Amino acid sequence: MRTEIVNTLLEARITAIVRGIAPEKLRRTADALCEGGVRTIEVTFDTPGAADMIRLLKKEYADKMLVGAGTVLDTETCRTAILAGADFVLAPTLNTEVIKMCNRYGRAAVPGVMTPTEILTALEAGADIVKVFPAGALGPGYVKDVMGPLKQATIMVVGGVSLENIADFFRAGAACAGIASNLVSKPLVDADDYAAIAERAAAFVQAAKR
């Protein structure tokens, strides 16, 4: 199960990050992302009702998308996410106990890292993918440099990744990317402009393929 989840994340390349949207907007948001070709979605745990939103996505979209939990800062939240059905668990921070819990229950662990020391610590603890965050502030050059001595790292770039820079990140060695407001824009969701979200999703998917 865990290997299949990791492979799907890497094959899909784009994970949509849903943060702070109203639960009643979730289905139409997910439909728009699916229409645009996005195959993995993450609901952040700083979103009210995140666990219920993950349960809904797993129930209604399991045949279309992997469903993950984001902003998971501790083992208590990790367990809640796994019980809700999350396939993968992400964080902006590194907590080795969260990684171990994901390993224990066959879920993919994607901890947040910045430094080479954090990357190696995450890998040694059993992380499947490391989330370089905030990638936009660090830049593609940082990813290229860090992969020089740490070629064994599988990197997801998150934070400030856009249509303008995503190709540079992939050329630098990133394996996949998590996209938040540049894809699932809260103003677009609030305005029910799901066509625009589908268009953005398709653009990111095409950029990842290139």
Q: Determine contact, residues 173/10, Cβ cutoff 8 Å.
A: no
**Beta strands 66-70 and 108-110, pairing class:** unpaired
Active site residue 164: no
- Count of residues in the chain: 210
Helices (H), the chain: 2-12, 26-35, 50-61, 75-84, 96-104, 116-125, 135-138, 140-146, 166-172, 186-190, 194-209
Q: Verify whether residue 42 is a known catalytic residue.
A: yes
Rounded (5°) CA angle 192-194-198: 165
Burial of 164 (0-12, 13-18, 19+ CB in 10 A): exposed
Radius of gyration of the chain (CA): 16
Which residue among 24, 42, 58, 199 is the active-site one?
Answer: 42
CB-CB contact of 41 with 66 (8 Å):
yes
Contact 41, 16 (CB under 8 A): yes
Catalytic residue among 100, 118, 124, 131: 131
- Which residues are known catalytic residues? 42, 131
